[in-house]
């Protein structure tokens, strides 16, 4: 399971392949304009009084995931597109693969009240949403557009080398975060 780890002000160089390793919080801060530091689980409370917060997804907003036993440091992801009232596309880091960036991956609201308090998120190793449900605090609104994206940034893509991943058994629940 990939989780957000201790936050750094800049990305760390990781592998011998020369790829950049991104943690979720620095990446979300970089692309969304929400200038909050610290572990992802602290973002929701830190945003109080600094940024508007709410239950409705908006382009450029940061989805704030609660911390859980599977995601002890929480997770943050930027909304790159609102597909419907129950579906968005997220751009985020350190979810399907440690340090990897995913652009425009599907997330759906599975909360009973349609308030985005519980979501399923696309997970590369299974090529779909899987069965894991993640609790969400809500959305942190940056007050502006996401940082200078070109049209290519909003095409579905992955900045991941998935060649060595194997699909999990059908009876297993994917762990992501």
- Contact predicate 162/98, CB 8 Å: no
Give residue limits of the domains in the chain.
18-144
Per-residue pLDDT tens over the stretch 23-71: 999 999 999 999 999 999 999 999 999 999 999 999 999 999 999 999 9
Beta-strand runs (E) in the chain: 12-13, 20-21, 52-54, 62-65, 75-84, 87-93, 101-109, 118-121, 134-141, 157-159
Q: What is the pLDDT of residues 122-167, one digit of tens each?
A: 999 999 998 999 999 999 998 865 555 444 443 444 454 444 444 5
pTM of the entire predicted model: 0.74
Q: Which CATH number fits domain 18-144: 3.40.190.10, 3.90.1720.10, 3.20.20.70, 3.40.50.620?
A: 3.90.1720.10
């Amino acid at each position: 399971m990939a989780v957000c780890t201790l936050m750094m002000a800049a990305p760390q160089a990781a592998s011998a392949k020369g790829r950049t390793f991104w943690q979720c919080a620095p990446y979300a801060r970089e692309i969304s304009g929400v200038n909050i530091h610290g572990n992802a689980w602290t973002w929701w409370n830190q945003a109080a009084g600094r940024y508007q917060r709410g239950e409705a997804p908006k382009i450029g907003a940061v989805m704030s995931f609660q911390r859980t036993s599977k995601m002890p440091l929480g997770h943050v992801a930027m909304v790159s597109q609102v597909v419907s009232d129950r579906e968005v596309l997220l751009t985020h880091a350190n979810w399907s693969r440690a340090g990897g960036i995913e652009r425009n991956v599907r997330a759906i609201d599975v909360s009973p009240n349609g308030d985005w308090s519980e979501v399923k998120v696309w997970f590369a190793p299974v090529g779909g949403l899987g069965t894991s449900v993640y609790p969400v605090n809500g959305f942190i609104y940056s007050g502006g557009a996401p940082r200078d994206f070109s049209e290519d940034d909003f095409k579905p893509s992955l900045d991941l080398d998935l060649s060595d991943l194997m699909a999990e058994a059908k009876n297993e629940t994917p762990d992501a975060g």
